[in-house]
Amino acid sequence: MYSRVSKVGCMRVTSVFSEFDMVVGVSCLFKNRRSLATGTAQLNMADTAAKREIDHVEADELSPKVKRAKVDNENGRGEAGKDSESENVLSGFEISAVLSDSAREKNIFIHGKLADQEAVVILEKTPIRQDTLTEIFSGSRLMLEMRNDIYSTYRLQAPPHLNELKTTVVCPATEKHVNKYQRQESFLVEETLEDYQSITLPYIREQSFSIQWVYNILEKKAEAERVVYEDPDTEVGFVLLPDFKWDQKQVDDLYLIAIAHKRDIGSLRDLTSEHLPLLHNIFQKGKEAIMQRYNLPASKLRVYLHYQPSYYHLHVHFTKLGYEAPGCNVERAHLLSDVIQNLQSDPQYYQTRTLYFPLRADNGLLSKFKEAGRL
């Protein structure tokens, strides 16, 4: 989901650009070069580029999308409505460097200064929605780039309101934020129980990663209007809400997070059989809520936990099967159904077994494993 490694103020801004180009490739069979017999069209977004976000303990992929943006400060105030127009706070943004970008993911991470404070700005193209295709075809400008036999390629300039860029601003940004958005090499770590107790756990306690923003959500001090479902029970309850990586305009890239109300579970390592009622509750009620709200059955959902997690408070990821969500690969994701079965077989399963996870080259935890001769 979304990480917080220090006290940070962030906001979510949607920017509209009237002159954004799409690349349009058209394959047509012409009769006398005048009449169209048959045709197919492909729409490919132009390369805005970007790498997905990598958080402070994750590094399993080099292109994870943006983690959740904090809306205001640690008190959770100042949250804007979903469709409200905001002042252009980026007009004075001074670019220092491009931290990373990806033509495939169509997003870009930029380091700079905003009002004399260090900031990171993340721009990401929103997906093309089926319900906008008619307007794209009828209301856009086409500029021919190439034609060869049945093939032709154009630059398509869509109407302004169809050119949204999902924009996340991290300000003030610390050195850790700047580093985590840079593309870096990753390493697979083998963590035994002894490693967890002597290396990982002390490191987590040393860092004191702030999760006040999580408590703001649970206490309805922030993002209350975004909650899809809540079970308020303090032992087995949770809050289900969309991840900021999902723009909620289509279900193809559906991504929601269930955050447990129980506050003494940091990660997979803390889970025992006594937490099975909580895990069952999240699994069943989360799927039911998604079916009711988005008409997406359980058979089309991927439900999993991360290890290492991006923040140390129990949360579960719900994504649409087929969507390559960040961190859904095997070295980091643990299916919730497997977690439940493992704990049913062995109450202390995750407190005793060896776990594997990826870390980036600049990760402090990786340095600790190297110092201990474990890598």
**Cα dist. 93→29, 118, 124, 303 in Å?**
48, 10, 17, 38
The identity of residue 40, as a single letter, is: T
Report the b/e string of 81-116 with b at 16+ CB within 10 A: eeeeeeeebbeebeeeebbbbbeebbbbbbbbbbee
Neighbours of 143 (CB within 10 A): 11
CA distance 243 to 53: 13
DSSP character at residue 199: I
CA distance 113 to 93: 6
**Cα dist. 290→285, 306, 314 in Å?**
9, 20, 19
Task: Supply the Cα-derived Rg of the chain in whole angstroms.
Answer: 22
Catalytic residue among 261, 315, 317, 334: 315
Q: Is 315 a catalytic residue?
A: yes
With beta carbons less than 8 A apart as the criterion, state whether 282 and 336 touch: yes
Neighbours of 65 (CB within 10 A): 27
Describe the chain by its helix, strand, coil percentages, rounded to 5: 25, 30, 45
Cis peptide before 308 (omega within 30 of 0): yes
Kindly give the pairing relationship between strand 315-320 and strand 333-335.
unpaired
CA distance 50 to 64: 9
Per-residue tokens: 215: 């408590």
Measured at the alpha carbon of residue 105, what is the angle toward residues 102 and 110, in degrees to the nearest 5?
50
Catalytic residues: 315
